[in-house]
Amino acid sequence: MSLFGRRKKKKLAEQQALEQAETQKQAQVEEQTAAKSTVSESEPKVGPETLTSQPEEEVDRYNRGLEKSRRTFGQKLTALFTNFNGVDDDFYDDLEETLIGADVGFDTAVQISDEVREEIETNHVSGQKEISNLIVAKLVSLYTRNGTKEDNHLVFATEGPSVFLFVGVNGVGKTTSIGKLAARFKKRGKKVLLAACDTFRAGAIEQLQEWGKRDGVPVVAGPEKSDPAAIVFDAVQKAKKEDYDLVLVDTAGRLQNKVNLMKELDKMRRVITREIPHAPQEILLVLDATTGQNAMNQAKVFQETTDVTGIILTKLDGTAKGGIVLAIRNQLHLSVKYVGLGEQVDDLSPFSPQEFVDGLFSDFLEPTK
């Protein structure tokens, strides 16, 4: 592929990211109403270290949650092979555009295209079905390939309270994810405490308190505009004195001033570590899958401001582009620990690369004749 063509594809990816930023406005509206989700009582009580529930239930969630992405990917593959007369440079250009359109990111799209080209030329692959299977196989390989720091399991304290810090911009489903995880761990017999440290956004404290009521979980909170570090101090003190197992901490999501955000998060971390050594055990970045490459840009900013340990990717059921998981894991080298596959409280599932692949590509891995 020519250098001009590659630059054109990169420009296309950048333009796509700008367009997807507009969807963030709608996401903020959804965040205000997300706390109305119905709490399911069907999840079995098991230890939180075992992050998979009944396999059949998880498989069904992935199949349902990824239906839109699976259907759209099939349409993209069909379009790619429309009027297919063989492999040439135009075919690889179209392949890269298809992958960029699926949110895998520019660099990953180029990588897959190059690997497909090498495989075709080395093994003389020529049939449409064979090439289609090859493309899917390369994608599957990247989804299931373990990175150098890959670990999808959450880290818990060996004794005393564990503290999870949640970061992310407004509107991505951060507070909702906290509420869902609180319900999940409480059903596993854990004593959970919430800390409402997003004192900047109007309504954020009330939203977390509403989740606390629904989950039957206490919330440590203060007035709007109060010091988040003071709130988290009260929360960890309460957790230690009253033998809580887990503290889930909501934080402000503004990115208008990265310096202030960094100072605020750093102060909170210092308070937590001073009161509970080795905490926080997790700093989880919440991203909205429907914003595509804009979510990648957010992740890069938060990586610059704090030590993110993993990703919670929400609203995968609301996007037709499942490639964002691939982009996050291969470009940012961060583990996706939970994915949102629906609106119900139990639709926030531990991320399983294999179940994700099965849900996204099961219709396309057909044997060649």
Q: Name the residue among 243, 220, 217 with its Cα closest to residue 230.
A: 220
Question: SS3 of 230, please?
Answer: helix
33 pLDDT band (50/70/90 cuts)?
very low
Rounded Cα distance between 311 and 363, Å, is 27
Residue 213: count of CB within 10 angstroms of its CB: 11
pLDDT at 7 over 60: no
pLDDT confidence of 9, banded at 50, 70, 90? low
Residue 235 has pLDDT above 90, yes or no: yes
- Cα 67 versus chain centre, distance: 17
Q: What is the overall mean pLDDT for the chain?
A: 81
Work out the average pLDDT over 322-332. Answer: 81
* Across 82-93, average pLDDT: 86
Phi, psi angles (nearest 5°) of residue 41: -110, 10
pTM of model > 0.95: no
At 328, the pLDDT band (50, 70, 90 cuts) reads confident
Mean pLDDT of 314-329: 83
Q: Which residues are 313's β-sheet partners? A: 287, 339
% of the chain exceeding 70 in pLDDT: 81
Nearest to 340 by CA among 356, 362, 326: 356
pLDDT band at 177 (very low <50, low <70, confident <90, very high): very high
Residue 210 has pLDDT above 80, yes or no: yes
pLDDT attached to residue 157: 93
**Which residues have CB under 8 Å from 162's CB, separation 6+?**
155, 156, 245, 246, 247, 279, 281, 282
pLDDT reported for residue 339: 92
Q: Under a CB-based contact definition with an 8 Å cutoff, are residues 69 and 76 in contact?
A: no
Q: Taking 60 as the threshold, does the pLDDT of residue 164 lie above it?
A: yes
CB-CB neighbours of 126 under 10 Å: 10
